[in-house]
Amino acid sequence: MSELRQPGLSDAVKGGQSPPLTSAVLGGLIGVKQRLASSTDEVRIAAITEALSYGREGLELVVQIVKTETGPVQRAAYDKLYQKASESARIKLLKYAPGKAIHQTLTQHLSQLLDENFRKDLTRGKYSGWAVSITAEQIPPMLCAIGSYGRPGLDAQERLNAQQVAALSFLENYGWLADLPNELDRNISASPFTYSTPGFEENTRWAEQLSQSDLFGVIWHVGNFYYRGYPREDNLNNLHERTKESLECLMQVAQGKQTYYQLAGVRYPLREPRI
C-alpha cells in the first residue's frame, strides 16, 4: 500500500495549480530557472514573481528558495509566498520567517537591558513609566512599528503614507495596553509587526545595538506620543508641536541618526550616529 503524501507548503498556498505543460510553459519555466540561478539578487528577485505565474511548478521553485536560503532573495520569496498563502500555509511558513533569527537575537539583547536599575529609571521619566512592567518579548513589535514609521521618511508634501499611519495607530494603542499584559500580547499577536510578517528584519535592523540609554529614549518618545493622542493626521506638520517633536525623533532614530530625549529636565543623546 503506497504511503499518503504529506501536505507541504505548496499544497496550502493559493494559486498552486499547474497549467498544462505546453512547450510555451516549459520554455518559460526554463527561462525562469535560469534567472533564479543568476548571481545578481535583483534578477533573481524579479524572477520570483514570474515563477509564481507558472502554477505548482513555479511555486515549488519559490518554496525551495524559502526553505534553503537566507538573505534578500529568501526574504523576497518569503514575502511573496506570505501574501499568497492561506492561514494554514502561513503557520507552516513561520519556520522559515526571515525575521525569526533577528527577533530571537533582539529579544535576548533586550532581556539584558531590562534590569532592576533600568526599570527604576523608567519610573522617573515623565513619559516612560508606562513601560515599567514591559517584557523583552513585548518590545520588538514596538521597535518594528517605529522602523516602519521612521525609515521611509516623508515625501515632498511632508505627508505620512498609509504604512506610517498604520504604524502610528499601533504605537498609540501600545502604551495603553501595557498595563494589561494579556491584552498587549493579543494586540501584538494580531499586529502587522511580528517577526513572521514581511519587513520585520528591515524594520528592526536599526535597533540591534540599542543601549539602555537608547531604549529609555525610545520608550520616552513613544510615551510622549501616545499620552498626547494621535488625531489620525496624515501630515506631520498638523500635529501638536510636542507630538511632532517626538515623532521626528523616532523617525531620526529609525534612520540611524542621533537625536535626544529628556529626563528630569536634562537632555540626553539618543542613538550615536552610525559611521
109-131 burial, b if ≥16 CB within 10 A, otherwise e?
A: ebeebbeeebeebbeebebbbbb
Q: CA-to-CA distance for 169 and 9, rounded, in angstroms?
A: 33
Position 2 pLDDT exceeds 60: no
At residue 264 the predicted structure's pLDDT band, cuts being 50, 70 and 90, is confident
Sequence ranges of the domains in the chain: 29-112, 114-187+198-270
Computed over every residue of the chain, the mean pLDDT equals 83
- Output the pLDDT for position 275: 37
pLDDT digits (tens, 9 = 90+) for 21-44: 454 444 588 889 999 999 999 999
Share of the chain above pLDDT 90, in %: 36
**pTM greater than 0.85 (yes/no):** no
Q: CA-to-CA distance for 126 and 219, rounded, in angstroms?
A: 11
